Structure 1
């Protein structure tokens, strides 16, 4: 018999080696942006039929999920149920819907939650109520329950449920289950089952903090606690929280809880960003690890385009996986694409790694009390897309660059580079050269004097309209303080038609950028500046389309 909800069991980490002890995350100051949820009319109610030219438009992602048409935003209701991965996402205040059996190939379904008498269906989560704690299902049965933010009369938390594997949904007649009490920002509920206290727990964003609520049945909720005052980054409103346990270094007997929140656009962070906190949760209160100073900011992703990430509930084999919206609240719907806008990141597997006490940080500071790093890695299921692989080893790069064979528009790079005495090393992807051989266009991933960086200042489109409707600089460079382990940079980079996702040191540091490259940008090169670096190995693998 299916239990009431998924237990908070230890999670299996992704594959990879231990994190560098010398790693500290920092934010790069930048330009302005104002966070706000979209308030436009309802989106498409059913997916269009796929014709021979479907998913072939310029900049259409070939191995990331994007909708057939319309505007994709925050992932919602990520859940595994009866052999299917469910991906819901914001689309003009509705819950658009797609499913997959392998986390790679997705089928778009009709919109799950349209607008109703309580307004829009903003972000939220979905759970498997296998024990029918809610009483919303026939006796002896269970099903999927969505908890989301409705908008009429102010942001409030409401419930919908499905008895047919998520194909159709009914609203709970007693909505909202947590009414608005006059607050402006009260949204994005993430719900999970907490086995030790035998109740459902909700973490929901309230301005610059998160609140925790508890319920025996998903319908009657009581406040439990609040977290966030004086903790981390407060440059803008907190949104789309998540709270989940992870074993430390894969040890199921040493578990910590991770709280993630996205932070809306601001000048301080050059757009929107996301951060995480590591600590303990007793079923009522989340407490950050006391060895971490309250003002410490640990960013989830160095790039500008990984927002509102949510983990899949009820994932099999104890895995903790998530996806994020590859977008930014500075340019939420400015993409020069049609008939769709925006895409999801690839699914990533999460693990938690300990930074040993006494380790030296990149600044030279000694981390006397240690700490934790949230690591991310693309799920191994993506390997089904691997096609031709080219490998180069023992390549010296002396204060210049080496052009590699063209991999096309969609590929993966695995690189191990000994920095040597070089001041900067990196990869140029989606590259185009001029007649004189100079680099005319490229997006760059590398390590230099300012740490790990992603740079699209010459990556194609460099100006877009921001939320105010004004021209704004899209060609940004994002950085984080970083020191390679033993002087060796280990990079994994996924390149699609309009995105670059980079993972350093087996995902201890990640960066995501949306890019809109020009025609003929199918080149790849490796470079060193100010000295000589050695490419120990570099593997370039072409990736197949998920739509063909």
Structure 2
């Protein structure tokens, strides 16, 4: 039986048992919804299983198309979980259920969320099954999100930290995805897709929302309310663009309704104050996907795939060019980002297309392919904005599936770059100076040593996040393997190959000079950047090693204006090893421990 969908909240006071060796049902409701304690290696976990109507039309369509169907979709169950390692004997548990979202709170802290698109099942109110563990259970209409103290937040979400370098949302199943940047005067607004379950929420459909922060100096960021949240069951917010027309922000986003038979196309959310956004009723374009929107020579432009539209008011769009860009095989045409307006005299534009494509043009020209100069260095779907005379890039680095414990993942850690245009239309790239993490004083890690061909030098690295700096004098190829332990096998290799004009980031399967480039750069592992001049002139190599919930980030900057980032795969066993090929090298190293 399908019940109406009023918002409802279950509130229980849980007393933890001395042991939890098997699943214990605490609360149950007719129809199949339960709240349970389940054992795990790290201690008991709270599991909420909410019974919903299976989306039979979606299941049938997926089977007809030969696509996999999640078992949870077939049974109509959505599961929310929370580790209870922070519990202190008793826990106030709140399960807030609305038609579009289910939220699980422990002592006020938001621990997990899910986003249904079918009705709940069940008859009657939930009942206590274990009165010795549940002190009380109340059922109420929808209640506001509970307040939570700073202390309780730190206890339940120890990975919560201010927005900054190598940032990701707090919570064991939370990650960050595609970004958008929008400058307005001195303000730089950052939007990112907040994700849970690495694209596994909403029964694998993916349930994304655009979270929001703003800065005026890149040092301090102010978190703002979600700019495009899931307000209705049909919503799952996808990548787009945000622009400011002098009066309002216009955030264009794509709804991935095609994944579950819901509303499709592009919608727009607007804000006058840059803090509170709302969906503009009645505006929807079905012929546009994942739009890139920008201003050029007094006109608003929108790119969808290879088609260019133009507008004077950001609402009435006319097709201006059926094939504005030519995305050949292997070149992405999704998630475009055009930038240049507001940078210097605005006479040159650049265009990134999600994963692989890059174009540039001067005023009056058509886009010219410059894929070999693209600022893809391991980050996924990078976006750029001109801000205070600078070009700031934001993107994200894929988590390691083995660390997460899933066959594949979507989502990861937010990272930043600064682009410096060259006269030929390309770029040099560097870390954003304001976003380099602070740390302890530098200490010598390796006194100056000459490494001959076939030899190597080892560098001890402290545990935790560190910044390693190598001073090198060589024109030979250099291999730096991090996290591979005593034999460097299984570490992450950063290889500077001056002989091949190539910069590589890959898993060192057999020690130094063993990594193989088998993936495109946006995967963030096992890839190479080709056609790089000046690698024989590198004299300083900066590497940040940053462990987080998605694995270990390896972020490298060369003093010739190149960066490369990768995710370490598998266990981190520490240390660094340096070797050369095709000559010798003089090398010294220093290191400092970073603060989070």
Q: Indicate the TM-score class for this superposition, using the shorter chain for normalisation.
A: 0.5 to 0.7
What secondary structure, in the 3-state scheme, does the structure 2 residue paired with 1:346 have?
strand
Are residues 1:201 and 2:301 paired?
yes
Please say if residues 492 and 506 of structure 1, whose CA atoms lie closer than 8 Å, have aligned partners that are also in contact. Answer: no
Please say if residues 332 and 353 of structure 2, whose CA atoms lie closer than 8 Å, have aligned partners that are also in contact. Answer: no
Alignment of 1:178-257 (within 5 A): 179-181=285-287, 186-194=288-296, 196=297, 198-204=298-304, 206=305, 210-227=306-323, 230=326, 234-235=329-330, 237-245=332-340, 256-257=348-349
Alignment of 1:469-480 (within 5 A): 476-480=526-530
Give the equivalent residue in structure 2 for 1:541.
592
Deviations for 1:246-269, whole angstroms, at most 9, x for unmatched residues?
A: 99xx9x579532111124xxxxxx
Deviations for 1:288-319, whole angstroms, at most 9, x for unmatched residues?
A: 17xx7xxx64443243xx11111236x2x222
Are residues 1:277 and 2:327 paired?
no
Alpha-carbon distance in 1 for matches of 2:212, 2:473: 44
Give the drift of 1:321.
0.4
C-alpha distance 528-62 of structure 1, shift in aligned 2 (>3 A): farther
Structure 1 alignment gaps of length 5 or more:
1-38, 131-141, 264-273, 355-370, 461-472
Give the drift of 1:323.
0.5
Give the drift of 1:387.
2.7
Please say if residues 143 and 161 of structure 1, whose CA atoms lie closer than 8 Å, have aligned partners that are also in contact. Answer: yes
Alpha-carbon distance in 2 for matches of 1:414, 1:215: 49
Alpha-carbon distance in 1 for matches of 2:286, 2:577: 54
Which structure has more RCO (C-alpha within 8 Å, separation ≥ 6)?
1
Are residues 1:143 and 2:214 paired?
no
Alpha-carbon distance in 2 for matches of 1:216, 1:108: 32
Are residues 1:158 and 2:267 paired?
yes
C-alpha distance 487-129 of structure 1, shift in aligned 2 (>3 A): closer
Equivalent residue for 1:96, pick from 167, 186, 211: 211
C-alpha distance 159-56 of structure 1, shift in aligned 2 (>3 A): closer
Give the equivalent residue in structure 2 for 1:362.
none
Deviations for 1:111-137, whole angstroms, at most 9, x for unmatched residues?
A: 33223566322111222232xxxxxxx
Alpha-carbon distance in 1 for matches of 2:412, 2:381: 12
Give the equivalent residue in structure 1 for 2:154.
51
Please say if residues 538 and 559 of structure 2, whose CA atoms lie closer than 8 Å, have aligned partners that are also in contact. Answer: no
Structure 2 alignment gaps of length 5 or more:
1-72, 79-99, 112-147, 196-206, 512-522
Alpha-carbon distance in 2 for matches of 1:230, 1:63: 35
Give the drift of 1:452.
1.7
Alignment of 1:235-314 (within 5 A): 235=330, 237-245=332-340, 256-263=348-355, 274-282=356-364, 286-288=366-368, 297-303=372-378, 306-312=379-385
Deviations for 1:326-384, whole angstroms, at most 9, x for unmatched residues?
A: 128xx8x776179x974344321112224xxxxxxxxxxxxxxxx54222211111246
C-alpha distance 222-337 of structure 1, shift in aligned 2 (>3 A): same
C-alpha distance 100-542 of structure 1, shift in aligned 2 (>3 A): farther
C-alpha distance 505-234 of structure 1, shift in aligned 2 (>3 A): farther
Equivalent residue for 2:466, pick from 383, 408, 411: 411
Alpha-carbon distance in 1 for matches of 2:589, 2:254: 46
Larger fraction in helix: 2
What secondary structure, in the 3-state scheme, does the structure 2 residue paired with 1:409 have?
coil
Give the equivalent residue in structure 1 for 2:578.
526
Are residues 1:501 and 2:562 paired?
no
Taking structure 2 as the reference length, what is the TM-score of the superposition?
0.60
> How much is the aligned-residue C-alpha RMSD, in angstroms?
4.1
Give the drift of 1:482.
3.7
Alpha-carbon distance in 2 for matches of 1:372, 1:413: 32
Give the drift of 1:402.
1.7
Are residues 1:77 and 2:77 paired?
no
Please say if residues 416 and 490 of structure 1, whose CA atoms lie closer than 8 Å, have aligned partners that are also in contact. Answer: yes
Alpha-carbon distance in 2 for matches of 1:77, 1:298: 21
Equivalent residue for 2:398, pick from 315, 318, 327: 327
Are residues 1:455 and 2:506 paired?
yes
Please say if residues 42 and 93 of structure 1, whose CA atoms lie closer than 8 Å, have aligned partners that are also in contact. Answer: no
Give the drift of 1:217.
2.0
Alpha-carbon distance in 1 for matches of 2:555, 2:545: 7
What secondary structure, in the 3-state scheme, does the structure 2 residue paired with 1:446 have?
strand
Please say if residues 458 and 475 of structure 1, whose CA atoms lie closer than 8 Å, have aligned partners that are also in contact. Answer: no
Alpha-carbon distance in 1 for matches of 2:524, 2:351: 29
Alpha-carbon distance in 2 for matches of 1:343, 1:105: 21
Alpha-carbon distance in 2 for matches of 1:408, 1:485: 30
